[in-house]
Amino acid sequence: MADDTGTPRRVEALEAILVEKGYVERTALDAIVEAYEDVGPKNGAKVVARSWVDPAYRERLLVDATSAIAELGFGGRQGEHMVAVENTPEVHHLIVCTLCSCYPWPVLGLPPAWYKSPAYRSRAVIDPRGVLADFGITLAESTRIEVHDSTAEIRYLVVPMRPPGTDGWPEDKLAELVTRDSMIGTGLPVAS
Amino acid sequence: MADDTGTPRRVEALEAILVEKGYVERTALDAIVEAYEDVGPKNGAKVVARSWVDPAYRERLLVDATSAIAELGFGGRQGEHMVAVENTPEVHHLIVCTLCSCYPWPVLGLPPAWYKSPAYRSRAVIDPRGVLADFGITLAESTRIEVHDSTAEIRYLVVPMRPPGTDGWPEDKLAELVTRDSMIGTGLPVAS
Amino acid sequence: MNGAADLGGMMGFGPVVVEPEGPPFRADWERRAHAMVIAMGAAGHWNIDASRYARESLPPGEYLTSAYYEIWIKALERLLVAHGLVSAHELASQQSLRPGAELRRVLHPDDVRAMLAARRPYERPVEAAARYAVGDRVRTRNMHPTGHTRLPRYARAKTGVIERLHGAHVLPDSNAHGAGEHPEWLYSVRFAATELWGDDADPSLSVSIDAWESYLQAP
Amino acid sequence: MNGAADLGGMMGFGPVVVEPEGPPFRADWERRAHAMVIAMGAAGHWNIDASRYARESLPPGEYLTSAYYEIWIKALERLLVAHGLVSAHELASQQSLRPGAELRRVLHPDDVRAMLAARRPYERPVEAAARYAVGDRVRTRNMHPTGHTRLPRYARAKTGVIERLHGAHVLPDSNAHGAGEHPEWLYSVRFAATELWGDDADPSLSVSIDAWESYLQAP
């Protein structure tokens, strides 16, 4: 949808204007870009894996996610007020921001394009099973779905169910099973 | 908003395809175009002027507008089920079609672009006084506004109030005061 | 459907751009587009409700950035393709690549005036008596079909008063999808603006819609 | 406002185009746009709610046909102009034509990491006790402000149940317009899909929103 030539030029021109006026330093922009290259769903995967192996941590995560996540060193912008919601055989959680693109940056990184798309934002709250089908996911009809629309500064992290056949796995190997989408609710952990 | 070159070419190409396939005859299209050049708000103005001078006609118009309008020779497509609503010092009527562009073709002709615009369709039902202000109209605060959203095949005609100082005027002179917008509710008759 | 066409109550479009009274077309392609839609409608392969559904089904961004007769022509193209009368490839290449199909009816130039002047009422006889009478309080249903409906979003799950009966009319919700006319009683229902838009709304304002009986329930 | 950003329940956008896990940016201009929005946000001339309001105020057709970071950059341009930091003429000519104004704060490269890692909570102390408790039934207000709000249209005038208390948070409806933080208790409110979407909705589905106390009333 972006104009393939107009928009990059527009952005470049704006940067030049802001720099010339002394409002931004190019190296500050570089530093922001660089900072977000490092942040991604691997952070959240560590949180989930820890909750799978450490019942006390799981408890803390479900009661005060912001603090529990900070224990692992994650936090900051767009993660100030975290809530973790846990999938069970009875309930599946799905996160959306219908009004814009609210997303827990410190644990999942910046959101993928589909998360910000009108297709996802419009349909997640009225037809989540249809949305899950777009992701190749079919839940049991008996599974309830709870959709969380991030309308405030609360950021949600889905704790997916630990896959069967992973007893005794070390935490870092478990973390590899935890996909970005499984922590949004549009996916499941990789089959072990 | 229309692509100034792409759309005319697209329409022309479609016409050529339909003609080549034998689906439409160009002269039939010409005849449709010609037919709607003749139809305009002057028809509705005659209806309104008649209702101003003939109390029995006014009564028939308010009870069964389709038949009353047919008395003057107007009717047909997009005028099958007419309802006339009369402005008074207490109530001002405003017509809109929020869902598309329903409009009483036989009495008002084809709708102006603004009638079909998102700006008009979105705002007429929630902020009609703001819409009227765009048309330069300010009603008394004590005047109630009744908006009619044309969601079915009923087509509405507003009968505006007869301007003061027109006693004894002949019908055809009165009709000249009746503007298109005054029969939609976005205008008032021309001051006499 | 909850498409881009359902505009009542939306914000952000700016002021209405008023035009003086005059010819309704601003370019010749608009005249031809309008005429083609009417001529192909006369062919009898689809009805007015199907046309409206084709228009409101355009992707919302496209709907809102198209001139009105562009919406009409894009919807006409979709209907032609859906009914197998023109192929998508023909539209893309802007030329006819195979002979036309057999149309149910081809509009002849001599018949145009009579066709446009003809009343084609949407009222139908029904056996059932009207369930509601003028003055009755009714509540609109909270419904969000993916198909066509003429109950706008702003007027769903709202309580109003029956203002007029219009007889029984063809139901667009089924007619648009070739599922029959299923005529139902049609009513004007009037709502206080405070019911539609909340306590901050203008108390001197009311809005009526025309609503089929199945859109309504007891309050 | 009832702008194009308020997308919950709309239809016609087609399926979700799924992407594999990977870098969130698809072009370099997206990286720069994102970084500029953050850097100019750090200058302190507007807050996050004002940024959101600038985005949702874009003309709906433009909003829906813009890539997401285009929306961000267009809104940033509007904020810069509204705050007198860049002129519309400078944007149109794509060059700076006069010296910059005095910014409240210029983000230094060395401070970037610390700024991004800092918690900047939106919770505020308030004296008032929370009016509602977990399990209480509440009804959302029917409100249609022209200004910013975070109560989506699909969840207005609907009855739900308090699911969580989040403390008192900055109220976007006033903060977006520079009218103060006016913190209020913030709740998760859960609605049955049948309440939001009617009897035809999936009975196994619920949707929660986070709602400030002034969005709620007794049912």
Distance of alpha carbon C161 from alpha carbon C13, whole angstroms: 30
pLDDT of res. B37:
85
CB D158, CB D129: distance < 8 Å: no
Distance of alpha carbon D72 from alpha carbon D172, whole angstroms: 18
Alpha carbon distances (Å) from C72 to B11, B101, B183: 10, 11, 25
Q: Give the residue from D16, D48, D187 with the most A CB atoms within 10 Å of its CB, the best one to mutate.
A: D16
pLDDT of res. A2:
45
CB contact under 8 A, C15 and B75: no
The two most distant CA atoms of chain B are separated, in Å, by 60
**pLDDT tens figures, C18-68:** 999 988 899 999 999 999 999 999 999 999 999 999 999 999 999 999 999
Instruction: Give yes or no for D105 touching A (CB within 8 A).
Output: no
Instruction: Give yes or no for D11 touching C (CB within 8 A).
Output: yes
Closest-CA distance of chain C to residue D58, Å:
7
CB contact under 8 A, B21 and C24: no
CB contact under 8 A, A28 and D108: yes
DSSP D13: S
Partners of residue C61 in chain A, C-beta under 8 Å: 1, 118
pLDDT of res. B137:
96
Question: Which of residues 120 through 149 in chain C touch D, CB cutoff 8 A?
Answer: 141-146
Residue type, D153: R
Q: Which residue of D has its CA nearest to C198?
A: D142
Distance of alpha carbon C33 from alpha carbon C40, whole angstroms: 11
For the beta sheet containing B144-149, the strands, ordered from the edge strand earlier in sequence to the opposite edge, are: B91-96, B144-149, C205-212, C184-192, C159-169, C137-140, C216-217
* Joined tokens for residue C183: 């005529």
CB contact under 8 A, C144 and A118: no
Alpha carbon distances (Å) from D155 to A125, C4, D190, D208: 10, 19, 10, 9
Partners of residue D60 in chain B, C-beta under 8 Å: 118
pLDDT of res. C23:
87
pLDDT of B105 > 60? The answer is yes
Show which residues of B are catalytic.
97, 100-102
Distance of alpha carbon C1 from alpha carbon C6, whole angstroms: 8
CB contact under 8 A, A126 and C144: yes
Place of tokens 């999938």: A87
**pLDDT tens figures, B114-128:** 999 999 999 999 999
The yes-or-no reply on A/B contact (3 CB pairs or more, < 8 Å) is no
What is the Cα gyration radius of chain D?
Answer: 20
CB contact under 8 A, C16 and B121: no
Q: What is the distance between the terminal CA atoms of chain A, rounded to a whole angstrom?
A: 38
Instruction: Give yes or no for D189 touching A (CB within 8 A).
Output: no
**pLDDT tens figures, D100-130:** 999 999 999 999 999 998 888 999 999 999 9
CB contact under 8 A, D106 and A24: yes
Percent of chain D with pLDDT over 90: 96
**pLDDT tens figures, C158-208:** 999 999 999 999 999 999 999 999 999 999 999 999 999 999 999 999 999
Q: How many CB pairs under 8 A join B and D?
A: 4
- H helices of C7-117, in order, are 28-42, 48-56, 60-64, 68-82, 88-93, 112-117
Q: Of A101, A117, A142, A182, which one is the catalytic site residue?
A: A101
The yes-or-no reply on A/D contact (3 CB pairs or more, < 8 Å) is yes
- Phi and psi at A85, nearest 5°, equal -120, 135
Partners of residue D144 in chain B, C-beta under 8 Å: 126
- Closest by CA to B3, choosing from C73, C10, C77, C60, is C73
Distance of alpha carbon C106 from alpha carbon D179, whole angstroms: 64
CB B120, CB B170: distance < 8 Å: no
Which chains share 3+ C-beta pairs under 8 angstroms with A? C, D
pLDDT of res. A192:
58
Instruction: Give yes or no for D60 touching B (CB within 8 A).
Output: yes
Of residues B176 and D24, more confidence is placed in B176
Task: Report the run of H or E that residue A115 belongs to, with start and end.
Answer: helix A113-116
Task: Report the run of H or E that residue A129 belongs to, with start and end.
Answer: helix A128-134
Distance of alpha carbon C201 from alpha carbon C199, whole angstroms: 5
Distance of alpha carbon B186 from alpha carbon B139, whole angstroms: 11
DSSP D17: -
Which chains share 3+ C-beta pairs under 8 angstroms with B? C, D
Judging by DSSP bridges, how do beta strands D137-140 and D216-217 pair with one another? Answer: antiparallel
Q: Of A100, A122, A150, A192, which one is the catalytic site residue?
A: A100
Place of tokens 């018949």: C111
Q: Which residue of D has its CA nearest to B126?
A: D144
pLDDT of res. A4:
62
Instruction: Give yes or no for C144 touching A (CB within 8 A).
Output: yes
| A101 flagged as catalytic | yes
* pLDDT by residue, tens only, chain A of 192 residues: 445 679 999 999 999 999 999 999 999 999 999 998 878 999 999 999 999 999 999 999 999 999 999 999 999 999 999 999 999 999 999 999 999 999 999 999 999 999 999 999 999 999 999 999 999 999 999 999 999 999 999 999 999 999 999 999 999 999 999 999 999 999 999 875
Task: Report the run of H or E that residue A61 belongs to, with start and end.
Answer: helix A55-63
Averaged pLDDT score across all residues of chain C: 97
ipTM, two decimals, is 0.96
Q: Which residue of A has its CA nearest to C144?
A: A126
CB contact under 8 A, C1 and D11: yes
Instruction: Give yes or no for D39 touching A (CB within 8 A).
Output: yes
Which chains share 3+ C-beta pairs under 8 angstroms with C? A, B, D
pLDDT of res. D119:
87
| A192 flagged as catalytic | no
C91 contact partners, CB below 8 Å, separation of at least 6: B14, B17, C77, C80, C81
On the 0-12 / 13-18 / 19+ scale of CB atoms within 10 A, A138 is exposed
Partners of residue A189 in chain D, C-beta under 8 Å: none
Distance of alpha carbon A46 from alpha carbon A111, whole angstroms: 18
Partners of residue A124 in chain D, C-beta under 8 Å: 8
pLDDT of B2 > 50? The answer is no
| Helix/strand/coil for B43 | helix
Partners of residue D146 in chain C, C-beta under 8 Å: 11
Partners of residue C69 in chain B, C-beta under 8 Å: 2
- H helices of chain D, in order, are 28-42, 48-56, 60-64, 68-82, 88-93, 112-117, 172-175, 193-197
* Beta bridge pairs of residue D205: A145
The two most distant CA atoms of chain C are separated, in Å, by 61
Question: Which of D60, D61, D144 lies at the smallest CB-CB distance from B126?
Answer: D144
Question: Which of D57, D59, D142 lies at the smallest CB-CB distance from C197?
Answer: D142
Confidence of residue D24 (pLDDT cuts 50, 70, 90): confident
Partners of residue A1 in chain C, C-beta under 8 Å: 61
Judging by DSSP bridges, how do beta strands D159-169 and D137-140 pair with one another? Answer: antiparallel
Which chains share 3+ C-beta pairs under 8 angstroms with D? A, B, C
Partners of residue C60 in chain A, C-beta under 8 Å: 118
Task: Report the run of H or E that residue B144 belongs to, with start and end.
Answer: strand B144-149
Q: pTM for the full model?
A: 0.96
CB contact under 8 A, D96 and A98: no
Q: Is the sign of the CA dihedral C114, C116, C119, C121 positive or negative? A: positive
Q: Is the sign of the CA dihedral C3, C25, B158, C175 positive or negative? A: negative
CB contact under 8 A, C144 and A1: no
C170 contact partners, CB below 8 Å, separation of at least 6: B153, C49, C122, C124, C181, C182, C183
pLDDT of res. B1:
43
Averaged pLDDT score across all residues of chain D: 97
